[in-house]
Chains A and B, each alone.
Chain A
Amino acid sequence: MSIFSNVQTAPPIEVFALTRAYNADQNPKKVNLGVGAYRTDEGKPWVLPVVRKLEAQLAADETLNHEYLPVLGLDAFSKAAVHMLLGTDCPAVIDNRALGVQSLSGTGALFVGAKFLQKILGYDTYYYSAPTWGNHKLIFDTAGFKQGRAYRYWDPATKNIDFEGMCEDLRNAPENSVIILHACAHNPTGCDPTDAQWKQIAEIMRERKLFPFFDSAYQGFASGDLDKDARTVRYFAKEGFELFCSQSFSKNFGLYNERTGNLTVVMKDAELAAAVLSQLTLVVRATYSNPPAHGARVVAATLTNKDLFAEWQDHIRVMSSRIIQMREALRDRLVKLGTPGTWDHITRQIGMFSFTGLTPQQCEYLGNEHHIYLLRSGRANMAGLNTNNIDYVASAIHDAVTKFPAA
């Protein structure tokens, strides 16, 4: 009798199942609006030129080796990542109260951070936006949090943020709750609070003693401007909050499969840094010992070299502006076609994703009938749109919406 006899088949993860379905589809007009990876106007993945250049340099450099990184990662990388996020004029940075721990991309930073909060600080309650990135719950539940609660966020009626609902839910959160906040380009909705709304959120969190855990997966990728996309995290830091922020370099550097990320820790007291780092060290050591070197080397080299940095800033402007163009293009076409409903949210939203407002039925129809793949929640990857498929997608959406009017 096998020890595995009682192992049940786990439910498939939707976004990967979607990609599998797309890959299996033979239809030449197929469009993948599922997984969140950037695509060029030719519908191809894009390895950033500065990344290619650096990878060639790294491979040719006979003085480089593959020795273990320290447990907390490549120091040059973490420092540069923290500075990129908070700005070098941030009081926490100046006071040595902002630490960086290299992580396995954004997921890894969230996991290590969540594990620390649960195991070392004993926190057991976390809040996530309704909706949020599909993996947030799994990460925090796996890290040992006992209670995961949603705070209201997306209002399908207005296709905007239910700000009153969000504030009420935060006001009712117990002290020491960990609140997962999207630094910019909210995934999956693309809707961010305004600066004024963030101020209010901060005040509630200060008053209720809630812990901010920012997820920053799109710095630079959202607006094309690194400082602009980081302004909310910087605001919280300047306001004296202690916080965690997970940073992913998957999208803004196109380093998806190298798992390059950073956990930024902002503390009030630099004297406590050593103890905090020592505990984070133990979490990392028991999970994967030390992080992979390759992606971190590429990012560190780019962020610390004036010319490479400028080159990279160009790349993120290219990516973010193409996406913004596609948003405008899609909205314009839907308006022109007279597609029932309002479509301003598409251009109001920002980042990789749009919460289109399409129903599960409409999404399923788009997949089966038109070979256009997006999540049942209506989340569409705007980077999957290009000048070749935009007309096709717009007509297909028009078809789906008119055939299956939302109730």
Chain B
Amino acid sequence: MALLNSSRRLGLSLRSVATPAAARCSSWWSNVEMGPPDAILGVTEAFKRDTNPNKINLGVGAYRDDNGKPFVLPSVRTAEKELVEAMMDKEYAGITGLPDFCTMAANLALGEGNRWVQDGLNVTTQCISGTGSLRVGAEFFSKFFTGPKVVWLPTPTWGNHIPIFKHAGMEVQHYRYYDPSTCGFDFEGAMQDIAKMPERSLIMLHACAHNPTGVDPRPEQWKEMSSLIHKKNIFPYFDMAYQGFASGDCERDAQAVRQFLNDGHCIALSQSFAKNMGLYGERAGAFSLICSDKEEAARVMSQVKILIRPMYSNPPIHGARIVSKILGTPALKQQWLGDVKLMADRIIGMRTKLRDGLAREGSTRNWQHITDQIGMFCFTGMKPDQVGRLTSEFSVYLTKDGRISMAGVTSGNVDYLAHAMHQVTK
């Protein structure tokens, strides 16, 4: 350690003494350009450096309790302890992971006893959380999709959608989604853009709690979208990262997915258990394709395995075992449904408090969207300069697009936040 520190003080010279051959040779890496910094990470880093005791981090994409602390779900703690007692082995899972996990994940999304899982029409594989699931999906579409190798993403969408699909060799196009003038859903714009898409296109839909806006279509709007998408023979790919976490009700949050299936679409679905089970770092997720028959499902499954094998061979088991334990044990599943409702309710409660707080501060702006929107994030409608002031004057940290993570809002800081937001927007 001492050698390391002193070499830093003396600059290069000590390094050259230590490794004469290495110091001046041309490296293989000299042409490597610095990659763009991650915008969201930048927010957190700036937050960490701030010494203001009132600082608030609204960039965080993970749930926090009312004390601003990470929350390990009680059902998860119980499941983990039971798993330890079960003394299971650590043998390789198959390429597609734990079979139980896959079945239960599919049933959670599509409904207990749903006919697609019962008839074996689903190809479901465990994946490395939502990202890994999307990457497997993107690779599959890139290789096998007979429509245009383009994915249509809503504007805006989760930032990582674009590199995931591009790395898989797909092009990316956008359809209108968020209406900044209402801070709501641009239904007309979306329908017009869908109508203009070529037949057999691939469309990405956020199943619930749209990231980053929190704006979801209403049930009757989903019905119309389903009908138009069906008419145009467009393939729907659902990204569901917040089932249960959005409204507090797993069945309700899966309605769009189930609507489309009932309307006769064959869909692709990516699921994440990062938020709804708080299993962020354990990377538990699933990718599903609904096929028209068992024989097709078998062919598709064989190809999905080939896609996964070179990336990581087989998935990590710890998180998936926790999910399986919870979903497969009635008492634990009940407890989990309560845990997830607790998280959703706290967030919904904070939305209400924030909106009320702004009214109390005397804001004359329409802040209805704060309670109309749903899930982790809220697109406040604030402009970059207002966001800048929020940060520099009030130590409130959020991304430039005005997105706040409701998970960072607590009963302890909501009044301060309302005050700050009013100051920069009045």
Contacts and interface: CB of A to CB of B under 8 A. Distances in A.
B332 interface: no
A259 B316 contact: yes
Nearest to B8: A96
Interface stretch (B172-180, B297-305, B387-395): B297-305
Interface stretch (B23-31, B341-349, B373-381): B23-31
A75 to B, nearest CB: 13
B94 A4 contact: no
B129 A95 contact: no
A250 B92 CA distance: 9
A316 to B, nearest CB: 15
Interface stretch (B75-83, B364-372, B416-424): B75-83
A121 B298 contact: no
B163 A293 contact: no
Given A7-B296, A278-B35, A282-B35, A293 B18 contact: no
Contacts of B87: 47, 52
A35 interface: yes
Contact of B27 (A64, A65, A250, A268): A268
Given A104-B312, A135-B313, A286-B167, A66 B303 contact: no
Contacts of A92: 19, 22
B70 A7 contact: no
B309 A13 contact: yes
B316 A66 contact: no
Interface in B89-146: 89-95, 128-132, 135, 144-146
A287 B316 contact: no
Nearest to A260: B316
A254 B29 CA distance: 35
Interface in A281-307: 281-283, 285-295
A3 B29 contact: no
A287 B311 CA distance: 8
B292 interface: yes
A9 B167 contact: no
A274 B34 contact: yes
Given A108-B311, A272-B30, A292-B281, A287 B318 contact: no
Contacts of A12: 302
B104 to A, nearest CB: 18
Contact of B163 (A97, A267, A282): A282
Interface string A71-95: 1000000000000000000011011
B164 A294 contact: no
B266 interface: yes
A66 B76 contact: yes
A5 B38 CA distance: 40
B206 interface: no
Contact of B91 (A2, A104, A256, A278): A256
B331 interface: no
Interface residues of A, number: 84
B288 to A, nearest CB: 13
Nearest to B272: A289
Interface in B1-57: 3-4, 7, 15, 18-19, 21-23, 25, 27-35, 37-38
A269 interface: yes
Contacts of B266: 2-3
B310 interface: yes
Contact of A288 (B28, B135, B166, B309): B135
Contacts of A287: 128, 131-132, 135, 164, 167, 311
A281 to B, nearest CB: 6
A275 B94 contact: no
Max count, chain A CB within 10 A of own CB: residue among B29, B94, B130, B166:
B29
Interface string A235-267: 000011010000000100011111100000001
Contact of B303 (A7, A108, A268, A281): A7
Contacts of B303: 7-10
A285 B296 CA distance: 31
Contact of A257 (B7, B33, B147, B317): B317
A45 B33 CA distance: 46
Given A9-B298, A211-B28, A275-B29, 4 more contacts: A35-B92, A66-B70, A240-B25, A295-B316
Query: Which 8 A-B pairs rank lowest in CB-CB distance, beginning with the nearest?
Result: A278-B35, A104-B312, A293-B281, A288-B128, A289-B131, A292-B316, A294-B318, A142-B310
Interface of A: 2-10, 12-13, 16, 35, 37, 45, 47, 51-52, 55-56, 59-60, 62, 64-69, 71, 91-92, 94-97, 104-105, 107-108, 111, 120-121, 135, 138-139, 141-143, 211, 239-240, 242, 250, 254-259, 267-270, 272, 274-276, 278-279, 281-283, 285-295
22 contacts: A3-B145, A4-B300, A9-B298, A13-B309, A45-B90, A47-B90, A59-B81, A60-B84, A65-B71, A66-B70, A67-B70, A94-B18, A104-B316, A135-B309, A135-B313, A257-B92, A258-B90, A268-B23, A269-B30, A286-B135, A290-B281, A292-B318
